[in-house]
Structure formats: structure tokens, C-alpha cells
Amino acid sequence: MGQYTAPLRDMQFVLHELLQVADTLKQLPKHAEIDADIINQVLEEGGKFTSEVLFPLNHSGDREGCHHDQATHAVTTPKGYKEAYRQYIDAGWPALSCDPEYGGQGLPIVLNNSFYEMMNSANQAWTMYPGLSHGAYECLLEHGTPEQKALYLPKLVSGEWTGTMCLTEAHCGTDLGLLRSKAIPNDAQADGSYKITGSKIFISAGEHDVAPNILHLVLARLPDAPQGSKGISLFLVPKFLPNADGTLGVRNPIACGAIEEKMGIHGNATCQMNLDGATGWIIGEPHKGLNAMFVFMNAARLGVGMQGLGLTEVAYQNALVYAKDRIQMRSLSGVKAPDKPADPIIVHPDVRRMLLTAKAYAEGGRAFCSYVALQIDRELNHPDQEVRKEAADQVALLTPIVKAFITDNAWISTSECLQVYGGHGYIAEWGMEQYVRDARINMIYEGTNTIQSLDLLGRKILLDNGAKLRKFGAQVQAFVEANGTDEALSEFITPLADLGDKVTKLTMEIGMKAFQNPDEVGAAAVPYLRVVGHMVYAYFFAQMAKIALEKQGSGDSFYTAKLATARFYFARLLPETAMLIRQARSGSASLMALEADLF
């Protein structure tokens, strides 16, 4: 149902013209040989795989869903999922950006990021199976022992085994300090293992049949653990305990008790996992499990942003095709299709508004995500320690915006694209309502968007007195100063500069209020994140508009469209910041005045 074509031209524009990725990679010894041709070849092959293998399973997988056998605890994925996964690992896709020491191809994160956008457009539910494995790989790579790395990383890199993260319990979601799962040292063994008991919920890909083994990364408490989040340790709990040679051994007592009946992503098994003395090994240091798990969580947060971007793109593509084909009424300014009884609905201004909203949020999100992924490559691989630190600060600042702003925009965009279809959008056979349902979870998991907003304002900005934000702001200001006298760019530069000034003043105002009343941070955080998100998008759209203006004489209609999209963004979407700033400044009084029993 529907269609998907990887947006290769726009990806190439972002990577080669906007970010000039190949030049940055030349500064990184690990990736110095990666050029535009290699990048384009990988993107083209990724586009074929996602459109030809994954996308045809998206609608059918949603309708069929996963099935749980209560007697055996086994979960069956929708028809075609296992076969697609086999093609995925046979082609080497899991290894794309992994370390060659463990069988990886060693390609940059920024390229892997673009591939994941394609996969999420084609089939978000399916993509969650290998997507979580990559987070488990990164966590073990950074915090695992040499023995753990040698045994488990090659299996994750090849895709032969998959991974999960088991955090949430029924009584605690984000507040992980409340978790109750216990880990007891296994004195009967000399391998340093633990017996882990507890229950976890909402575990994506917690049980399935696409791979023979699953590596669960589980948060639990040791017997001497202090209360709260400082008493949490991280454990590696395989579904099957591996033998020394990597073959599968005995079944570990960690099992799926049920799968959730949920609003969307039906093709992915969201599991209730029960651990009954399951054998596990600690990852990292005792009581510092959150530090280790944050590697996984931050990777997941960036991945969830890519899920939002992928859904925005595929919803836009299908709504555009429909709008060009569907005829309804005549244009207000006169007949546009005299050979037909009515005009295609794309002639109507508000249909164009809906399409352009999705188009702008997709193109802005693509530029933003690719930029952040490139900063991760710099953070991990640049030879200069100061450059690595600068890149790490940017990634820390921008990660909550990637997660929250892009997924908020995906909810807006998929809803608008469904609206383009009118009543047909609400009907399952057209496929649009699935994108809306799938998009909604992305605003919730891996830390709700409110949590991301609190993280941005409270931890990433106010905690260091705005140092990280000022560094990014200086980058924006440098662009403004370099191009401020270009009259052709004034329609983009002026509002960008104005918003930058307003963000600075708003940040200072909230910070001063927070000294008197911490609730001011909670009251302002959500609109504040959207304001900063718009500043980031405005910065990238201004850069893209500059390139489009320079090249519009080439005759390539791509640049004409890019310029028009940038103008739409500044005219129609950026003005939302005026309302958001007023909301953020309005304070906590109107939110906290009403006593709880009066609601």
C-alpha cells in the first residue's frame, strides 16, 4: 500500500553541499578514505533495500502484528520479517558503522544515520529489531570487558544476535531510581555471574523469531545498593547462555510473559519480560549502571529522532502523490485542469500548506540529524582532543532537540498528510493512518518529550550557565555576520538573528526565575525546547537557502524547490516561536495555582 522512494537527491545535497561531509571525514584518520562516491553508492544500495524489501512489509506487518504463545513464551513476527532480516544481515548492513576489529565495515555514523532514515521510512516496526542492537553494541563497546567484547560484539556486528535494553518496570518509567529488580552474586559459579530477578515492561523487540539469540541489557540492584538512581547496576542477560566458542548453550530463565496491545508499531514485539533467577554479567562498575546505559539511551534517542524523520518523509511522499492525482472542486483563482471535471487538490492553498509543512520538517530534520551524526564522528575520531570535546558538547546539547523536536514535528506532519487524503486518510487501506499511529509512540519512549525538554533546559543549558548554548549560538552568529550584508539573504538572516537574540534573553529570564522557583523550569521547558529547535532549523534553512540562491541559475529545479521550501518555513512555521516565547515567559503560576483536588 502506498509507495516509498529514498530521497537520495536531498540526502546528497545535505551531505555534500550543505555539510561537505567528505572534507570533514578527511580530518578523521579512521574515515579519511571515504569520499562522495562511496557515500553515494551506499545510499543507492540502501534505497533499493528499503524500498524493495522493507516497505512492502510495512502495511501487512501492521495488519498482522506479532503473536505470543503463552505456553512456550515464543513470539512470532509478521510474515516476511524473518526473511527480510536474513537479507539484511547477508548484505552486511548491521556492520556498516561498526568497528572492523569486531567484523564491522568502519564507515562513518553520518552515513549509517542516512541509512536508518530510509529504514524508518520504509518500516519503522521492523527497523526496531536491528536498531536496538546497534545501541547494545555501542554500550558494550564502551563499557564491556575485553572478554565480553570478544564474545558478544562480533555477534551483534554481524546481526546474528540482536539486543534490547530492559529499563522500565510497571511502577516506574523515567524515574529509574524506583526500580526493584534484584541481582544476587552467583557464588556457585566462578565466572562472576549474577542471578537476576524482576519484571520489565515495554521492552521493544524483547522476544522474537528473527534471530536465534537476544542480548538483554538489564538494570537491577545489587544487595548492597544505595537507594535511588545511584544504586543501579547494568547487566548483560542473554536469552541463551553462550558457550565459550560462541555457540548457543542453555536457555536462560528470562521470558516474555505477554506482548502489549498497542496503538501502533504492531510489527514490533513490545514485551513484558520476566526474569526468574536469570544469569547475567555486570557491565561497567557496580552501582554505575545508568552511566553505562546512557550510552545506549543516547543512541536510542538519536534513533527515535530518525524514526520521526523517516515517518515524516514517507507520509509526505504519499500525500504528494495523492494530492496530484485526486480531483476535487476548482481552484479559487480559476480552472487549472480544463480537461477534467475538477482540479487536482494540490492547487488549493491549504493543501499546499499541509504538504509544505511536512516537506519543510523533513528537509530541516534531515539537515539537523546529519549534522549531529557528523559531530558524533568528530567526537569519536578527531585526533585533536579539543575538537572532540567541542563536538561532544554539541551532541549533548542537541540530542534532546533531535529526539523531541523532530518527533513532535512528525506527529504534526503525519497528521497533516493524513488530512490531505480527507476521509480516505482515516481508512486503513490507504496506509496513512498507520503513519500517524506509529509516529505517536516516538514522542513517548526513550524519555518523553517533556523529559527531553527538562534535560535541555535544566541540565544542558542552566546547569553550565548556558556555555554549550552560547557556543552553538556563536556559530549561528558567525553565519549571520558573514552573510548579513547580502540583500538576497536578508529574508532568512534577519529572522534568524532576531530569534537568536530572543533565545538569549529568554534563557536568561528563565534562569533568573528558576533561582526563586524551580517550577519555572518545568513550566517553561516544553515551549523553550521548540523555540530552540526552530532556531536550529532556521540556521540550517538559511544555509540551504544560500546554496540554493547561488545555484538557482543552473537550471536545476531542485534548487528552486529548496528555496521555496525555505521561504515557506520562515513565513509559516518559524512564526510559531512568537507564541512559544510568550508561553515560556508566562511562568508557573497559572499551572500550579489550582489545588489538585479541584481539578
Longest dimension (CA), the chain: 84
Indicate if 472 and 560 belong to the same structural domain.
Answer: yes
- Say which residues have a Cβ less than 8 Å from residue 17's Cβ, sequence separation at least 6: 547
The answer as to whether 271 is a domain residue is yes
pLDDT tens digit sequence for 33-88? 999 999 999 999 999 999 999 999 999 999 999 999 999 999 999 999 999 999 99
pLDDT tens digit sequence for 399-426? 999 999 999 999 999 999 999 999 999 9
Contact 212, 240 (CB under 8 A): yes
- Say which residues have a Cβ less than 8 Å from residue 247's Cβ, sequence separation at least 6: none
pLDDT tens digit sequence for 267-291? 999 999 999 999 999 999 999 988 8
CA distance linking residue 228 with residue 558, whole number of Å: 54
Indicate if 127 and 173 belong to the same structural domain.
Answer: no
Query: Is the C-alpha dihedral spanning 406, 408, 414, 417 positive or negative?
Result: negative
Indicate if 133 and 174 belong to the same structural domain.
Answer: no
Confidence of residue 295 (pLDDT cuts 50, 70, 90): confident
Domain boundary among 147, 179, 197: 147
CA distance linking residue 543 with residue 537, whole number of Å: 10
Domain count, the chain: 3
The H helix count followed by the E strand count for the chain is 18, 11
Q: Which residue has the cell 558524533?
A: 376
| pLDDT for res 290 | 86
Classify residue 160 by its DSSP letter: S
> Pairing mode, if any, of strands 161-166 and 213-220?
parallel
Domain boundary among 250, 272, 288: 288
Indicate if 142 and 180 belong to the same structural domain.
Answer: no
Is 446 part of the annotated catalytic residue set?
A: yes
Indicate if 133 and 179 belong to the same structural domain.
Answer: no
pLDDT tens digit sequence for 170-199? 999 888 889 999 999 998 677 899 999 999
Indicate if 122 and 225 belong to the same structural domain.
Answer: no
Choose, from 363, 433, 446, 520, the residue flagged as catalytic.
Answer: 446
Among residues of the chain, what percentage have pLDDT more than 90? 94
C-alpha distances (whole Å) from 376 to each of 108, 110, 236 are 9, 8, 25
Q: What is the residue range of 246's domain?
A: 162-288
The answer as to whether 346 is a domain residue is no
| pLDDT for res 188 | 65
pLDDT tens digit sequence for 338-358? 999 999 999 999 999 999 999
CATH number for the domain including 18? 1.10.540.10
Residue 1 has pLDDT above 80, yes or no: no
Contact 278, 196 (CB under 8 A): yes
Indicate if 137 and 194 belong to the same structural domain.
Answer: no
C-alpha distances (whole Å) from 472 to each of 19, 23, 56, 240, 478 are 16, 21, 41, 46, 10
Indicate if 143 and 168 belong to the same structural domain.
Answer: no
Model pTM above 0.85: yes
Indicate if 454 and 555 belong to the same structural domain.
Answer: yes
The answer as to whether 337 is a domain residue is no
- Report the SS3 class of residue 108: coil
| pLDDT for res 333 | 97
**Backbone angles phi and psi of 209, in degrees to 5:** -120, 15
Residue 296 has pLDDT above 80, yes or no: no
Cβ neighbours of 226 (radius 10 Å): 12
* Average pLDDT score over residue span 110-114: 97
CA distance linking residue 179 with residue 199, whole number of Å: 10
Contact 528, 506 (CB under 8 A): yes
The answer as to whether 92 is a domain residue is yes
CATH number for the domain including 218? 2.40.110.20
Q: In the chain, what are the helix, strand and coil shares in percent, each to the nearest 5? A: 65, 10, 25
Query: Is the C-alpha dihedral spanning 128, 129, 134, 139 positive or negative?
Result: positive
pLDDT tens digit sequence for 450-506? 999 999 999 999 999 999 999 999 999 999 999 999 999 999 999 999 999 999 999
Q: Put residue 274 in one of left, alpha, beta given phi > 0 → left and psi -120 to 50 → alpha.
A: beta
Cβ neighbours of 359 (radius 10 Å): 25
Helix 576-585 and helix 490-516, axial crossing angle in degrees, nearest 10:
10
Class of residue 88 by CB neighbours under 10 A (exposed 0-12, middle 13-18, buried 19+): buried
Indicate if 140 and 199 belong to the same structural domain.
Answer: no
Element housing 157 (H / E): helix 146-158
C-alpha distances (whole Å) from 170 to each of 175, 290, 360 are 11, 19, 38
- Report the SS3 class of residue 212: coil
Q: Which residue has the cell 477534467?
A: 340
Classify residue 216 by its DSSP letter: E
CA distance linking residue 206 with residue 73, whole number of Å: 11
Indicate if 199 and 253 belong to the same structural domain.
Answer: yes
* Average pLDDT score over residue span 26-34: 97
Indicate if 465 and 598 belong to the same structural domain.
Answer: yes
Confidence of residue 214 (pLDDT cuts 50, 70, 90): very high
The answer as to whether 355 is a domain residue is no
| pLDDT for res 160 | 97
The answer as to whether 408 is a domain residue is no
Domain boundary among 91, 119, 147: 147
Of the candidates 70, 203, 96, 214, which has an alpha carbon nearest to the alpha carbon of residue 155?
214
Cβ neighbours of 349 (radius 10 Å): 9
Query: Is the C-alpha dihedral spanning 356, 362, 365, 370 positive or negative?
Result: negative
pLDDT tens digit sequence for 245-271? 889 999 999 999 999 999 999 999 999
Q: Which amino acid is it at 166?
A: C
The answer as to whether 435 is a domain residue is no
The answer as to whether 17 is a domain residue is yes
